[in-house]
């Protein structure tokens, strides 16, 4: 029996107050190596485990590609893992909810000139909200996922970045509610990806060498334009490409073809490279400028979620991430205006992306919450 565990020297990963064998745990299983190892760890510690896989879209219609999740092959892999570790496996069909709350929202976001993050919407809706409710109906004591993020219960459950910062998924989980965090457990928090795969190999799991998810699950080969063209064909409307003063420099075939910070594909000759600064949906214009025009200092947020119960945590200097692969940026937060003032200008900050709050303390780098970027200013 291997012993990779949530907290060092801890054998009770759930903290239900009951013995492990009398503690029921639901594990969200995507069919990938991370959730499979998470389920294996929980099972190895003697819990009563149920694996749940969500069917989120009709992969036959969309077209299955390598590096996606929650499609046909992934459901099969999740079942094979459950059979291997001898736990119950169920498949829940959430296609309609996923379509309405993730795919349709994704298309609408691009039409508004935003750059959406459907993975956060998916976590916020079907993966946490609806799966949370289902786990409660099963009288489960906890819901486990394979995310690389820490949960430390001091005073109340708090979220932290994991040990392996290269696998940090806290950015995608900022919208987790405090109630959900009380119920969630993350057994991979102290593991590196290499260690996770080693465990999968020791367990002879079918997914041990399976590639990680790369693309958005419902966007084959990363070509989001085909999805939008199918769902919102009217959005490919021709318009002007202008500079920041409104001078027409060229023309475009739909603002959905552009994102903030984009350089390639503008197709306008200029003495210095041009970048997309803004997408003006009211005028159907793509606004371009030079690299320094991309710098923003102010970020205005909507739909904030807080994972701290003490708002004073946000009073002093904090840090934010404005893209999943971005670095932590020093800033100040104005909770009256829901405004972030960056200490130093940042390029390519786009409406529709998440802005996630962080702060260091004695336990690590804590996630305080975050919000969606509504607009930016230089």
| Residue 42 CA, distance from chain mean position | 23
> Of residues 87 and 336, which shows the higher confidence score?
87
pLDDT of 214 above 80: no
pLDDT digits (tens, 9 = 90+) for 257-309: 999 999 998 999 888 999 999 999 999 999 999 999 999 999 999 999 999 99
Residues 246, 98 share a domain: no
DSSP H or E segment with residue 51:
strand 48-55
Strand partners, 301: 373
pLDDT of 310 above 60: yes
pLDDT of 233 above 90: no
Give the tokens for residue 57: 């879209």
Q: Is residue 273 exposed (0-12), middle (13-18) or buried (19+ Cβ within 10 Å)?
A: exposed
Residues 311, 280 share a domain: no
Q: Which of 53, 131, 124, 55 is nearest to 95 (CA)?
A: 55
- Which phi and psi (to 5°) does residue 219 adopt? -120, 90
Residues 267, 126 share a domain: no
What CATH number should be reported for the domain holding residue 305?
Answer: 2.40.30.10
Residues 313, 250 share a domain: no
What CATH number should be reported for the domain holding residue 285?
Answer: 2.30.30.280
Pick the last residue of a domain from 293, 309, 326.
293
Residues 373, 244 share a domain: no
Work out the pLDDT band at 48, boundaries 50, 70, 90: very high
Looking at residue 277, its pLDDT comes to: 95
Domains held by the chain: number: 3
pLDDT digits (tens, 9 = 90+) for 125-137: 888 899 999 999 9
Q: Respond yes or no: is residue 122 known to be catalytic.
A: yes
Residues 245, 338 share a domain: no
**How, if at all, do strands 275-280 and 285-289 pair?**
antiparallel
Pick the last residue of a domain from 293, 320, 335.
293
Please indicate, yes or no, if residue 174 is contained in any of the structural domains: no
Please indicate, yes or no, if residue 246 is contained in any of the structural domains: yes
Residues 214, 101 share a domain: yes
Range of the domain at 108: 20-146+187-222
Give the tokens for residue 235: 């959005």
Residues 304, 274 share a domain: no
Looking at residue 23, its pLDDT comes to: 97
Please indicate, yes or no, if residue 372 is contained in any of the structural domains: yes
CA 295/CA 150 separation, integer angstroms: 32
What CATH number should be reported for the domain holding residue 121?
Answer: 3.40.50.620
Work out the pLDDT band at 56, boundaries 50, 70, 90: confident
Listed in sequence order, the residues at least 6 apart from 367 whose beta carbon sits closer than 8 Å to its beta carbon are 149, 158, 159, 160, 161, 170, 173, 174, 307, 356, 357, 358
Q: Respond yes or no: is residue 82 known to be catalytic.
A: no
Please indicate, yes or no, if residue 229 is contained in any of the structural domains: no
**Taking the model in full, what pTM does it have?**
0.91
Please indicate, yes or no, if residue 156 is contained in any of the structural domains: no
Which region, left, alpha or beta, applies to residue 20 given φ > 0 means left and ψ of -120 to 50 means alpha?
Answer: alpha
Given the residues 69, 70, 217, 355, select the one marked as catalytic.
Answer: 217
DSSP H or E segment with residue 297:
strand 296-306
Give the tokens for residue 114: 């935003």
Please indicate, yes or no, if residue 355 is contained in any of the structural domains: yes
Please indicate, yes or no, if residue 275 is contained in any of the structural domains: yes
How confident is the prediction for the chain on average, in pLDDT?
Answer: 91
Please indicate, yes or no, if residue 240 is contained in any of the structural domains: yes
Pick the last residue of a domain from 293, 312, 342.
293
Work out the pLDDT band at 225, boundaries 50, 70, 90: confident
Residues 34, 128 share a domain: yes
Residues 372, 302 share a domain: yes
Please state which of the ranges 56-60, 73-77, 247-251, 337-341 shows the lowest mean pLDDT.
Answer: 56-60
pLDDT of 241 above 70: yes
Give the tokens for residue 229: 């063209």
Give the tokens for residue 355: 């802005």
Residues 345, 362 share a domain: yes
Residues 47, 37 share a domain: yes
CA 115/CA 323 separation, integer angstroms: 10
Alpha helices in 10-71 (DSSP H): 33-44, 59-62
Alpha helices in the chain (DSSP H): 33-44, 59-62, 72-85, 95-98, 104-111, 118-122, 131-137, 178-183, 193-202, 224-231
Given the residues 82, 122, 331, 355, select the one marked as catalytic.
Answer: 122
* Greatest Cα pair distance in the chain: 70
């Amino acid at each position: 029996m291997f012993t990779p565990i949530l907290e060092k020297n801890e054998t009770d990963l759930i903290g239900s107050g009951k013995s492990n064998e009398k503690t029921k745990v639901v594990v969200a299983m995507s069919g990938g190596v991370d959730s499979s190892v998470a389920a294996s760890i929980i099972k190895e510690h003697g819990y009563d485990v149920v694996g749940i896989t969500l069917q989120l879209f009709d992969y036959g219609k969309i077209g299955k590609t390598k590096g996606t999740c929650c499609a046909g092959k992934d459901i099969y892999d999740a079942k094979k893992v459950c059979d291997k570790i001898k736990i119950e496996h169920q498949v829940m069909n959430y296609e309609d909810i996923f379509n309405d709350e993730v795919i349709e929202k994704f298309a609408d976001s691009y039409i508004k000139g935003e750059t959406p993050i459907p993975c956060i919407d998916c976590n916020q809706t079907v993966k946490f909200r609806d799966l949370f409710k289902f786990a409660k109906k099963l009288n489960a004591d906890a819901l486990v996922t394979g995310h690389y993020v820490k949960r430390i219960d001091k005073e109340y459950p708090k979220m932290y970045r994991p040990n392996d910062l290269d696998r940090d998924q806290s950015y995608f989980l900022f919208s987790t509610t405090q109630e959900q965090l009380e119920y969630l457990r993350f057994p991979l928090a102290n593991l590196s990806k290499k260690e996770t795969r080693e465990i999968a190999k020791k367990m002879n799991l079918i997914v041990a060498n399976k590639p990680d998810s790369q693309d958005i699950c419902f966007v084959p080969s990363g070509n989001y334009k085909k999805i939008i063209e199918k769902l919102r064909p009217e959005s490919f409307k021709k318009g002007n490409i202008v500079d920041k003063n409104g001078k027409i420099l060229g023309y475009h075939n739909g603002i959905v073809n552009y994102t903030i910070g984009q350089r390639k594909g503008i197709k306008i000759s200029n003495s210095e490279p041009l970048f997309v600064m803004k997408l003006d949906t009211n005028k159907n214009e793509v606004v371009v400028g030079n690299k320094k025009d991309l710098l923003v200092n102010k970020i205005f947020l909507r739909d904030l979620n807080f994972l701290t119960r003490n708002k004073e945590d946000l009073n002093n200097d904090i840090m934010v991430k404005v893209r999943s692969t971005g670095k932590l940026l020093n800033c100040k937060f104005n909770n009256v205006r829901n405004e972030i003032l960056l200490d130093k200008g940042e390029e390519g900050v786009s409406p529709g992306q998440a802005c996630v709050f962080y702060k260091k303390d004695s336990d690590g780098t804590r996630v305080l919450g975050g919000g969606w970027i509504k607009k930016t200013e230089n």
